Amino acid sequence: MAVVRAARDEDAEAIADICARGYRRTYPALLSSAFIERMIAEFYQVERVSKEVPAAPPGWLGYQVAEEDGRVLGAAGGGLLRPGVGELFVLYLDPDERGRGLGTLLLDRVTGQLRELGATEMWVAALDGNELGIPFYEARGFRKVERRRTYGSTEADNAWSWRFSRPI
Ligand SMILES: CC(C)(COP(=O)(O)OP(=O)(O)OC[C@H]1O[C@@H](n2cnc3c(N)ncnc32)[C@H](O)[C@@H]1OP(=O)(O)O)[C@@H](O)C(=O)NCCC(=O)NCCS
């Protein structure tokens, strides 16, 4: 059975690997490989993930992982944007483990962390056209609010993201 827990230092490599593979599997039709590799190099190198394993509240509540039989199969993290308002900043699974509830476990975990800090509203951004992510958020009560240029993208990348929100 899968469990969800706060990540530990020794999980950094698995988290970086899952996020990088998840990223490469999710966006090839939507983003250039140069952009994909730039984002992975910025956010999902082991060194950076290691630094972000611990929480730095209220803005970052630390990586959370889903683990089964001693293997890390998914990672997520969120934090408060401002009092009362939280965001899920990252959520990826091992691409072979989608569709059996692990994403929901991780989402529930981060939602609980945000509620504990007093959040009543939760946001998440997903790339416009991300059919592996958007239907999941919509199934969990998030609604599209605004479309914005994707964080970290330039005009040449022409990448757009939806920002979704739901009450929590
Ligand atoms: C998004 C993601 C984390 C969801 O995790 P998951 O374990 O696959 O999802 P779960 O099994 O917990 O829940 C799936 C729910 O979403 C719904 N859903 C609908 N379309 C879906 C789709 N294309 N993909 C996943 N779920 C979908 C399912 O019906 C289910 O709802 P239900 O239980 O009410 O029927 C995972 O699929 C993933 O890693 N996707 C690729 C990476 C990604 O896009 N991450 C988000 C970046 S913003």
Question: How does pLDDT run across 13-40, given as a tens digit for each residue?
Answer: 999 999 999 999 999 999 999 999 999 9
Give the up-direction half-sphere exposure of residue 157: CA atoms within 13 A in the CB hemisphere. Answer: 23
In the numeric block, the tokens 């959370």 are attached to 64
Is 91 close to ligand 1, i.e. is its CB under 6 Å away? yes
What is the predicted pLDDT for the residue at 152? Answer: 86
- pTM (2 decimals)? 0.96
Question: Is the CB of residue 78 below 6 angstroms from any atom belonging to ligand 1?
Answer: no
Residue 126 CA to residue 134 CA, distance in Å, equals 7
Q: What is the pLDDT of residues 80-139, one digit of tens each?
A: 999 999 999 999 999 999 999 999 999 999 999 999 999 999 999 999 999 999 999 999
pLDDT for residue 129? 96
Give nearest CA residue, ligand 1 atom 37: 98
Full set of structural domains in the chain with CATH: 3-167 (3.40.630.30)
Q: Which atom of ligand 1 is nearest to the CA of 136?
A: 16
Q: Is the CB of 101 under 6 A from ligand 1?
A: yes
Contacts of 139 (CB under 8 A, 6+ apart): none
pLDDT digits 0-9 by tens, 48-69: 999 999 999 999 999 999 999 9
CB of 68 sitting under 6 A from ligand 1: no
Using one digit for the tens of pLDDT, what is the confidence trace for 2-12? 999 999 999 99
Indicate whether residue 98 lines ligand 1 (CB < 6 A): yes
Residue nearest atom 10 in ligand 1 by C-alpha distance: 101
Which residue's CA is minimally distant from atom 7 of ligand 1?
103
Q: What's the 134 CA to ligand 1 centre distance in angstroms?
A: 8
**Alpha helix ranges (H) inside the chain:** 12-26, 33-43, 46-52, 102-116, 134-139
Residue 103 CA to ligand 1 centre (angstroms): 6
Report the distance separating Cα 61 and Cα 53, nearest Å.
9
